A = this chain, B = another copy of it.
Amino acid sequence: MIRFDSDYCEGAHPQVMQALERTNLEQTSGYGEDEHCRRAAELIRRECGCPDAQVHFLVGGTQTNMTVIASILRPYQGVLCAAGGHIACHETGAIEAAGHKVLPLTDKDGLINARQIVREWERHMADASREHAVQPGMVYISQSSECGTIYSKRELELLYSACRELGLPLFIDGARMGYAIAGSGGELTLRDIAANCDVFYIGGTKVGLLFGEAVVITNSALGRDFRYMMKQRGAMLAKGRLLGVQFEEVFAGGLYYEMSQHAVAQAIRIKSALVKRGIPLFCNSPTNQQFAIFTHEQLKMLKEKYVFCHWQRVDERRDVVRICTSWATRSETVDELIEDIGNLP
C-alpha cells in the first residue's frame, strides 16, 4: 500500500538522520542547553529577522499548543480560534485540561478574519453580564490551516493589527508552516510571520524531522519563564540537543524550504489531475494537503493501492478524503496516482 494519509508516515529526511548519526556520540548538557540548540535558535532568529526573539524547542504540536496557551492566558480567559482548529477538535481537550475554554469562531475553509475577532471582542465587552462569561484572552490560528488553506500576508497583517488594538496576543500554530510558505508562491516568508504575531512555531514533525516544533516568541512580555512552563508540561526533552541538531540541519542551508516546496509541488500535481478528471475539491488548497470528493466507487478502486485519510461524509454516495504529500513523496509514486486518477470511472 502507498500512503498519502499524512505527512508523518516516514521517519526524517536522510540529511536529518545523518546529522543525528554524526552527533550521536557528542557529550552535551541536557534540556536544550547545548550548542546545537543555541546554533539552531540563532539560525531561526536570523531567518525570522528578529534578533531578540526567544526560540524554544518542543517535541510535538499538542504539547506546544497547550504550553504556549497556558503560559499566556489568565484563568478566566479563553482562546479564540477557528471552529475547525486543531485545539478545538483534535487535542482531546488539552486546552480545557489546562483550565481554558476554546472559543470557536465559524471558519471559512479553516480560516478566520480580523472582523470576526473584533466583533467577538465587542460582543463580549458590550455584555453587561460579561463577568459571567469567558473573556477572550488571545487568538490562535493555524498556518497552513487544517484545510490546507493559508492566510495571505495582507490577511495576517489585518488580523494582527486587530489583535494588537484589542490587546489580544496572536499565536500561530505553524505545524505546517513550511507548506504555507511554499504554497504562498513567494508571497510569505518567516519574516512576515514573525512580524505579524506575538508567538508562533515552525513545525518539524510534519516537515521532515523525526519530531520537533520550534517556538518563536517575538513579544518579549510573553517569554517570561517559558522554560518553567515547558518543564511543567512535560515539554522539555532530556536530550534536547536532538531538537537542536535537527533544526540546525534544516535551517543551516535551505533544506526546510526545499522539503516544503517538494511536497507542495507534488500536491499541486495531484490537484491538477483531480481537476482535470473533474473530481470536485472540498476546498481550494495551495499546500501539501488536498481534499478531494470521491464517490464510493472511486474510493473503492483507489483504496486497493493507496491509503488516504478519511475526512468527512458528503452524502450517501460521496466522501471527502485528504491526500497528503511530504518530503518523502516520490515523484514516480505521484505519476502513478495521477494515472490512476485519470482512469477513475
List of B residues within 8 angstroms of A8 by Cβ: 30, 238-239
List of B residues within 8 angstroms of A234 by Cβ: 59-60, 62-64, 66-67, 94, 233-235
Q: Which residues of chain A (210-259) have a CB below 8 Å from chain B?
A: 210-211, 225, 227-239, 242
CB distance from A321 to the nearest CB of B (A): 13
Question: Whole-angstrom distance between the alpha carbons of A102 and B103 in the complex?
Answer: 11
Contact A93 B78 (CB under 8 A): yes
List of B residues within 8 angstroms of A59 by Cβ: 59-60, 234, 237
Please report the total number of A residues contacting B with Cβ < 8 Å: 78
The stretch from A9-17, A110-118, A151-159, A336-344 touching chain B is A9-17
Question: Whole-angstrom distance between the alpha carbons of A109 and B170 in the complex?
Answer: 36
Question: Which one of B25, B30, B89, B100 contacts A96 once the chains associate, using CB atoms below 8 Å?
Answer: B100
27 A-B pairs within 8 Å (CB atoms) are namely: A1-B27, A2-B27, A9-B30, A10-B24, A10-B26, A11-B20, A11-B242, A12-B24, A17-B20, A20-B210, A59-B60, A63-B235, A71-B74, A75-B98, A76-B93, A78-B96, A89-B132, A90-B132, A91-B232, A92-B133, A92-B228, A93-B100, A94-B232, A101-B101, A210-B242, A211-B239, A233-B234
Binding site for B on A (CB under 8 A): 1-3, 5-6, 8-12, 14, 17, 20-21, 23-31, 59-64, 66-67, 70-71, 74-76, 78, 89-94, 96-102, 128-129, 131-135, 205-206, 210-211, 225, 227-239, 242, 310, 328
Inter-chain pairs besides A101-B101, A206-B238, 11 sampled, C-beta below 8 Å: A8-B239, A11-B24, A17-B24, A62-B232, A75-B98, A75-B229, A76-B97, A93-B101, A96-B100, A131-B230, A211-B239
